[in-house]
Amino acid sequence: MIDINLIRDPKTREKVVESEKKRFRDGLAVGKAYELDRKRIEMNFRLDQINTRINQLNREIKSGYRQGKNKEDGDLSEKVAEIKGLSDEAKGLRDDVKAVEDELNKVMKGIGNIISPSVVVSNDEKDNPIVRSYRSSRNMQKNPRPFCVLMKDFTHSVAGAKVMGHRGYYLSGKMARLAQALTRYAIDFLENKGYTYIQTPVMLRRDVMRKTSQLSDFDDQLYKVEDDLYLIATSEQSLAALYMDERMVPQEVPKKFCGQSLCFRKEAGAHGKDNAGLFRVHQFEKIEQFVICGPEESQKYHEEMIKACEEFYQSLDISYNVVGIVSGELNDAAAIKYDLEAYFPSAEKYRELVSCSNCTDYQSRELEIRYGVVKENNRKIYVHLLNGTMCAVQRALCCIVENYQTGDGIAIPDVLQGYFGGDLIELGP
């Protein structure tokens, strides 16, 4: 969530409202958060007054005892009665403070990160600006077939639906080998850039997941399992929590991770979209870039991360566009986000393979991942967290299959041939 101090200050509070309006919200949550915070401060001030008075009364009672008085004496009995009344008031106030804090946290969770000035203000993804492009020089197959047709003998979608339900699949044979080759190549690619390879948990406790996800994700995206655990939708969630409740000094950052995990998504908002094939499934593998850095360096690393993605897909010789995501399409945690959209020749469309976000200190504040050894202006400083898909394996596989189809089958990209152990997947009629 954002810094509550931004809401307390009238000047910065207006900036938060402006940012919310860029997300095409009314900004009323900001005013509600301000009122709840002020109410909390007033109640805590009254609690401090009560505690001060109780401590004073206890000292006076102890002094009276030392003078030989007992609690039945008039002035002491009045003090004891006053302590009881104040204690009852304090108990009620503490309950009220807890209720206000819970409501404040809920409201604050609904306020998005401060949007970067460079983000285009629009509520229509058609306005996403193209930042950079790459075009393959390979000769494409005429009348290309869609990936779902090319892969049908390897995905066993009917059997998958029987055992798992909608969007279930098995992946077999050389197509599974190609997926494995793509995974290994993506890991090596990031390790060669100084990233630390890490396999993450695929389940998180609810209280941890709440700090790394939007509230809407609990209904729309996340699968709950027993014991109040949730399956991750991305290893970003596990990686963000790796240093939860810790303090990192400047000498420790940046930390750059290449995360590998299975991911699970309900895709509740995607009914009717991409029903065929592996492009949008409930279970998939993903290689993730994740960077932890100081506040002054996150913009630099954000650019480095998207350029690493570009190098990866250029090495696969896949045509793509990098687009900047407009303000109304940003998730709450992101201050700025790039997508890499790769070309699918059968539909003659560019489709998202990569999302790369700078979340600044939005997630680290809730996770309490502090930065430095001192406070600035008596305020805590937090690390910045950045995430970016390197390779959503099943989705990237669909793209490679379409782009590398030939009259004989599926050609294997040059950089994958050593991992795959060949240069062609033969297809049946």
What is the β-pairing status of strands 130-134 and 283-293? unpaired
102, β-bridge pairs: none
Q: Are 388 and 382 in contact (CB under 8 A)?
A: no
Q: Which of 42, 77, 109 is the last residue of a domain?
A: 109
Q: Which of 81, 109, 137 is the last residue of a domain?
A: 109
How confident is the model at residue 80, as a pLDDT?
84
**350 and 390 within one domain:** yes
**176 and 82 within one domain:** no
Distance, in Å, from the CA atom of 323 to the CA atom of 129, rounded to the nearest integer, reads 5
DSSP one-letter code for 220:
H
Q: Are 34 and 8 in contact (CB under 8 A)?
A: yes
**202 and 175 within one domain:** yes
**413 and 350 within one domain:** yes
Distance, in Å, from the CA atom of 306 to the CA atom of 322, rounded to the nearest integer, reads 8
How confident is the model at residue 71, as a pLDDT?
60
How big is the chain by its Cα radius of gyration, in Å?
A: 28
**Residue linked to tokens 């913009």:** 299
How far are the Cα atoms of 15, 231, 359 from residue 201, in angstroms, in the given order?
Answer: 37, 9, 21
241 found inside a domain: yes
Which residues are annotated binding-site positions for L-serine? 234-236, 288, 389
**383 and 315 within one domain:** yes
Please give the angle made by the CA atoms of 126, 341 and 167, to the nearest 5 degrees: 100
Which residues are annotated binding-site positions? 234-236, 265-267, 281, 288, 352-355, 389
**215 and 81 within one domain:** no
- CATH number of domain containing 267: 3.30.930.10
Two structure tokens written together for 314: 């250029």
Q: Which of 109, 134, 151 is the last residue of a domain?
A: 109
117 found inside a domain: no
Q: Are 198 and 257 in contact (CB under 8 A)?
A: yes
Number of H helices, E strands in the chain: 15, 15
**366 and 289 within one domain:** yes
Burial of 278 (0-12, 13-18, 19+ CB in 10 A): buried
425: Cα within 13 Å, side-chain hemisphere: 25
**361 and 279 within one domain:** yes
**330 and 181 within one domain:** yes
180 found inside a domain: yes
86 found inside a domain: yes
**59 and 149 within one domain:** no
- CATH number of domain containing 8: 1.10.287.40
Which runs of consecutive H residues, i.e. helices, occur in 247-332? Answer: 298-315
Tens of each residue's pLDDT in the chain, 429 residues: 999 999 999 999 999 999 999 999 999 999 999 999 999 999 999 999 999 999 999 888 888 777 766 666 667 788 888 899 999 999 999 999 999 999 999 999 999 999 999 999 999 999 999 999 999 999 888 899 999 999 999 999 999 999 998 889 999 999 999 999 999 999 999 999 999 999 999 999 999 999 998 877 777 789 999 878 999 999 999 999 999 999 999 999 999 999 999 999 987 555 555 667 899 999 999 999 999 999 999 999 999 999 999 999 999 999 999 999 999 999 999 999 999 999 999 999 999 999 999 999 999 999 999 998 766 667 889 999 999 999 999 999 999 999 999 989 999 999 999 999 999 999 977
- Please count the structural domains in the chain: 2
Which residues are annotated binding-site positions for ATP? 265-267, 281, 352-355
**282 and 405 within one domain:** yes
Domain that residue 40 falls in: 4-109
114 found inside a domain: no
Indicate the pTM of the whole model: 0.91
Q: Are 27 and 7 in contact (CB under 8 A)?
A: no
118 found inside a domain: no
**410 and 345 within one domain:** yes
12 found inside a domain: yes
116 found inside a domain: no
How confident is the model at residue 276, as a pLDDT?
74
How confident is the model at residue 125, as a pLDDT?
94
What is the separation of C-alpha 313 from the centre of its chain, rounded to a whole number of angstroms? 23
